[in-house]
Structure 1
Amino acid sequence: MSELRSPLTLSWRHGVAAAVWIGIVLLFAGLANAYYAGLGATVGILALLALGMVLVTGYAGQFSLAVGAFYGIGAYGSTLLTVKYGWYGLVALVLAATVAGVLGYAIARPLFRLRGHFLAMATLALTEVFYLSVNNAGFTGGSTGMGGIQPLDLFGFSLSSSASHVVVNWVVVGLVVWGILTLRKGREGRALLAIRGHEAAAAAAGVNIPSAKARVFTASAVISAVAGSLYAHQYLYVNPPPFGLQTAIDVLMIAVLGGMRSPWGAVIGAIALEVIYQGIEAILPGLLGTGAVGAGQQLIIGLLLVVILVVRPDGIAGALGDLIGFVRRRLGGDRAPEAVAPTTTQTSTDMRALRRQEDEAGPVSPGSVVLSARGLLKRYGGVTAVDDVDLDIHEGEVLAVIGPNGAGKSTLVNMLSGNTPPTAGTVTIGNVETTSMRAHEVARHRLSRTFQTPCLFEGMDVAATVKVGAHLRGNVGMLRSSIPTPAAVREERRLADETQAVLTRLDLAHLADRDAKNLSLGQQKIVEVARALVGQPRLILLDEPCAGLNKAEKASLMQLLRALGREGLAVLVIEHDMEFVMASADRVHVLNFGKTLRVGTPDEVQNDHAVIDAYLGVATDADEAAESVEVTH
């Protein structure tokens, strides 16, 4: 892959896809009778609700069942505004969606402090609270509901027929599908997928996780409210049952059946579920009688969902995607992508010799202090992981932190990067104290990091994974990521160019379109380094970057760190490979049982008997003889 292109650029294919979509909708609306047209319009509303769930649960990985509440806000909002106050239907729709969005944003921050099944229960409770509220309120008509709603009027055209509802509902579905697909390819979409994959890594890249969750929850609320308004103007009557727990469960079934992680899953799932229901209603009465239809539907759908969750967790959309990919490969004569073996252009693997060559170009004089830590302390209950550590990192310096397992090295990096708050002590970057800042706030001060175990994101290729690291180098928000404005396209092109430059420098360009999680461990480590570098930091923290690398790759990484130092970047590296450490570092900071044991040059540390006893081990006669022979030659 020679060049990365902006995925937001519009092309003739988008126009063809839109024309095909509208053509299919118009064809169905023109050919279907009133019953099937009404059914198709209702399926479109369910697809909209499932799309809202795909945004929150499929993209951001937050299990939300609040769809019923916002669906009801849209329906009752439009009803109250049009029936009681005589508002124009389209204006009522927009206002109801706005109210849903504001409410969604207001409750998102406290709500998303919860995780997993706790979040699911809280959002389900939100739907139940809304249902009970409208069921018992007098101004909503209580359990009787409200009628008198007029058909939606679109600039003089009244949506009074089932066919017109089909067209409007499915055009809205098409617009939302396009927006969600476009969002996935942009800055905000990558941030959501990173949150779903690994929140700590997303935060380290500068993603404000609470804010991103609140925004996507707001977008989902707006989509659900629009669906509610369309429902009210289609049926011209609202009452509480459609906005209760059963609707939330039905939408979850649609999303699981179709595929939670793609907007196409919402569309496919909504259509498939209705086709299954219709098939059961047509076949089951002849086999078991009409009384078996309701229970039979629940049984068959339940069994089908179990099979899908076990066999194809990505749903029907995932299975169809694999089938389409297989057919394309067969027609094109291509084979499935094979694992790519690690490659390197490095010819010498003698790191000490390479370091001597580096030093011949002249010593690098460290600049001002970039990061300073004083008195860092971290306790976990009665265990002290880091104990009163002072540390300075200078511009243009490679500082290695070493120590036995359990010495507190990773805990130290987590405190410096904001992933773990210290029990005591201070951390300063430049002239700003960052001790109490969270990881995404620390990242704004141009600190990047990697993790001991590669933290990559499921379903993202190498290029997109690396682009996450450039999150703070862009400012396009969720709306502009969904509707690619010229400014959004220009920004995405710039990020693509910067990503391409980093991939080329780290010999990853040929892997740009591969799934990052399918690479070898060593390649995944280098991808993490690329993600850290693309943000153009002034300080980079590398937690055991050599794990999984072969000898040549370690040598290349050592040369990269030395080059970054010459460019003025401050580098802190945690590593157990002493050959790599001694060849790459300007200074070495030794930890033992959480305390600083020694700070000095590689030669000083290697010759310190306390360090040898604690970590490096006592040299044997054979080792000393081998070293003597090497020095002689």
Structure 2
Amino acid sequence: MIAMDVSPALRAAGVTATGIALLAGALAIGPKHAGLYGLFVITWIGLMGLNIVFGHGGQFNLAQNTLYGIGAFAYGVLTTRGMNPWLGVAIGTAFGAFSGAAMTFVAGRVRGLGLAILTLGIALATPDLFSATSLTGGFNGIVGVPPLSVGDKVLAGNGLLVVLAALAFLVLLLTRYWLTSSWGSALRTVAADPEAAAGMGLNPSRYRTLALTLGGAIIGFAGALYGAYQGYLGYLSFPVTMVILWYLGVILGGAGTIWGPLIGAGVITVVPETLPVSDDLQPVLWGALLVAFVVLAPRGVVAGLHRLMPRPSRSLPLAETAVAAPSGDLPERGRPGGGVVLDVEAMTKRIGGLEILRDVSLQLRAGTVTALLGANGAGKSTLVNCLSGYLPPTSGTVRLDGIDITGAPPTKVYRHGLVRTFQHPRLVTQSTVFENVLAGVHAVERPNALLSALPAIVTRKTRRRQDRAVSAMLTELGIGHLAGERVGDLSAGNRQVVSIARSLMANPAVLLLDEPVAGLSLEEMRRAAETINIIGSRGVAVLVIEHRLDFVRSVAEDAYCLDSGLLIAHGTLDQVLGDPEVRKAFLGTAEAKVPTSEPVDEPRSR
């Protein structure tokens, strides 16, 4: 559910061509089809709002008919009482934004099925709600809703269509620019994997609320324009069938794409006027089409067209210097050579009556790669989860650069400089490599959401700096040539490198790598070893959880070994591997020798 990786030049050409086509259509269309053209443009605006919520934000808001109606009735009620039409449009937009945000708070900031059930109930009740109050005209609705005007001149005919087309094009520009910024990358990261996003310092609730607020504003804006365009608003103007229609439009065109809403709006406004299907059967037709596209073509028309186009190669800005931490509100990490960065004292974790960890103490030093060894079930993953904030320890302390972060949530741990990866890279597979790593920049900088939607001339300097930081990181880790590739098309090894690159954009003091070479080939393990050694040379304290001892020998200097939640050995890697207790934990007997296969790369000096 994300934007396709089309080259910037092609995107710009597409935007320009769309603007020209919209203007030409508004000027040339005759009276017979003028009404249909206006509804198409307004519907397109509404679908752009739904696309942000659903296509990019992954939220199943089924009450877009409510938001649309709120914007429309806000306009109708206010303008029939003498308010300026454009001020009525602005207030209708604000009502849509407020209502979208309110839905997340009423639902307890839920997502997925919880939000879908809540908003479906609202959608079903919408016609009754609009007919139950005299403010909205009751069953009679509001007649004589004032049209848009400029001064004393009422907009009508082709002139009105030109204004509507211009407003739709403005919404396209702003949403496109915002969704291609680091905010868009972060939003898609949260939608794809909220838990992993939290480990990147991204608060999922914040981004869900933002998506529903922005989407609600755009849908409310479309509703206000609809009220001005139609001149009459009734409770039956916003039926629950609109939910099916709009989702069909977004999915058919391509959820999460820039052009999907445009195609979808054309289908759901034009097809009903051209197909010889009765009004009673149209909901059946739309429902069948929605099911068919979800099953057979879930990525929509735009994705199908995209597969026919030549694959672009993203041109990376030249990285003139080593990667610097993106400027934000984070302090520079203090990393004296070999100094202790992470200090864990007597950590214990109990779940029910089971003691998973018992009095575990360890230290990680700047610029040192440390291995965490242990058989399956030894407590390694639990330790990593406690360090990174996914599980609170029962007792003990965790200090990062001298700051106590014990029990802090993942977002706070990340912002203090401790970052983790997962055994299976948790990336946005339909986004490009560049976009995935760009989300790491956003997690650190947290730029203003509104400024990110402004034209390029306002935020060009910020974007260029972000692009340079991402490009330099990809180049340093040897995957700069993959910047324009979709992550879903990469090998397992390259996905791990992308995951590490995204983590490094936070300029971490500590990096926890959970089985980074699981399932990788020997060549991919060699590349992973090179990457980890580069990270260590940057002064980052690295903790590697890994079973492959040949790989561990290529990267680690120090080691700790866990067995049944107890720390049984620590020291240099050779000392730990030679410890009888470690041999017993790995092979069942203290006399056995731990396998000493050749390292996958030149071993680090120990």
Name the TM tier (shorter chain). Answer: 0.7 to 0.9
Alignment pair present for 1:24 and 2:21: yes
Kindly indicate whether the alpha-carbon contact (under 8 Å) linking 1:521 and 1:549 is maintained by their aligned counterparts in 2.
yes
Q: Note if 1:308 corresponds to 2:293.
A: yes
**Once the 2 structures are TM-superposed, how far is the Cα of residue 610 of structure 1 from its aligned partner?**
1.2
- Could you say which residue in structure 2 is the equivalent of 1:320? 305
1:63: Cα distance to partner? 1.1
Shift of 1:543: 0.8
Matched, 1:265 2:265: no
Q: Which moved more, 1:103-112 or 1:221-230?
A: 103-112
Distance 1:234 1:449 in 2: 52
Aligned residues: 573
For structure 1, the 5+ residue unaligned runs are 1-6, 285-292, 330-335, 338-363, 628-633
* Pairwise CA distance, 1:8: 13
Within a 5 Å distance, the mapping from 1:171-250 to structure 2 comes to 171-250=166-245
Unmatched segments (≥5 aa) in structure 2: 314-334, 599-606
CA distance in 2, matches of 1:422, 1:63: 35
Is 1:510 the equivalent of 2:463? Answer: no
Which residue is 1:57 aligned to? 54
Q: CA deviation at 1:568?
A: 2.3
Residues 143/519 of structure 1: CA separation in 2 closer, same or farther (3 Å cut): same
2:134 aligns with 138
Q: 2:78 aligns with which of 77, 81, 89?
A: 81
Q: Per-residue deviation at 1:54?
A: 0.7
In structure 2, give the amino acid aligned to 1:190.
Answer: S
Counterpart CA distance in 1 for 2:523 and 2:369 is 20
Report the counterpart of residue 548 of structure 2 in structure 1. Answer: 577
Is 1:122 paired with 2:118?
Answer: yes
- 1:532 is aligned to 503
Match 1:97 to one of 70, 76, 93 = 93
When structure 1 is superposed on structure 2, of 491-500 and 562-571 the one drifting more is: 562-571
Q: What does 1:344-493 align with in structure 2 at a 5 Å threshold?
A: 367-486=338-457, 488-493=459-464
For residues 398-444 of structure 1, the C-alpha deviation after alignment (integer angstroms, 9 at most, x for no partner) is 22111111222122212211233334443332233323432222211
Per-residue deviation, 1:310 = 2.2
What is the aligned-residue RMSD (CA, Å)? 3.0
Which of the two has greater helix per residue?
A: 1
TM-fit CA distance, 1:547: 2.0
For the 8 Å contact 2:372–2:380, the answer to whether it is kept is yes
Conserved in 1, the CA contact under 8 Å of 2:141 and 2:233? yes
Contact kept in structure 2, 1:195 and 1:202, CA below 8 Å? yes
Whole-angstrom distance in 2 between the partners of 1:422 and 1:626: 36
How many Å apart are 1:594 and its aligned residue? 2.2
Identity of aligned residues (%): 32
Question: How far apart in 2 are the matches of 1:625 and 1:223?
Answer: 62
SS in 2 for 1:598: strand
Work out the CA distance in 2 between the residues paired with 1:365 and 1:29: 65
**3-state SS of paired residue (2:80):** helix
Deviates more, 1:240-249 or 1:62-71: 240-249
Q: How does 1:274-285 map to 2 (within 5 A)?
A: 274-281=269-276
Instruction: Please say if residues 205 and 471 of structure 1, whose CA atoms lie closer than 8 Å, have aligned partners that are also in contact.
Output: no
Partner of 1:34: 31
Matched to 1:313, the amino acid is P
How many Å separate the matches in 2 of 1:604 and 1:316? 60
The one of 61, 69, 86 equivalent to 2:66 is 69
- One-letter amino acid of the counterpart of residue 41, structure 1: G
User: Which one-letter code corresponds to 1:215 in the other structure?
Assistant: L
State the distance in 2 between where 1:49 and 1:238 align.
Answer: 17
1:148 to 141, 144, 152: 144
Whether 2:104 is the aligned partner of 1:108: answer yes
Deviation sequence 1:221-261 (CA, Å, 0-9, x none): 11011111101111112122223422222211221222222
Deviation of 1:555 after TM superposition, in Å, equals 4.2
TM-score under structure 2 normalisation?
A: 0.87
After TM superposition, the score normalised by the length of structure 1 is 0.83
Code of the residue aligned with 1:139 in structure 2: it is L
Answer with 1 or 2: which has the greater Rg.
1
Shift of 1:136: 1.0
| Match for residue 600 of structure 1 among 554, 571, 585 | 571
**Aligned mates of 1:617, 1:549 — CA distance in 2:** 27
SS of residue matched to 2:561: strand
Instruction: Say if 1:44 and 1:169, in contact at 8 Å, map to a contact too.
Output: yes
Say whether the 8 Å CA contact 1:365–1:396 is kept in structure 2. no
Q: Does structure 2 conserve the Cα–Cα contact (< 8 Å) formed by 1:8 and 1:186?
A: no
Residue number in structure 2 paired with 1:591? 562
| Shift, 1:172, TM fit | 2.2
Distance 1:465 1:622, change over 3 A: closer
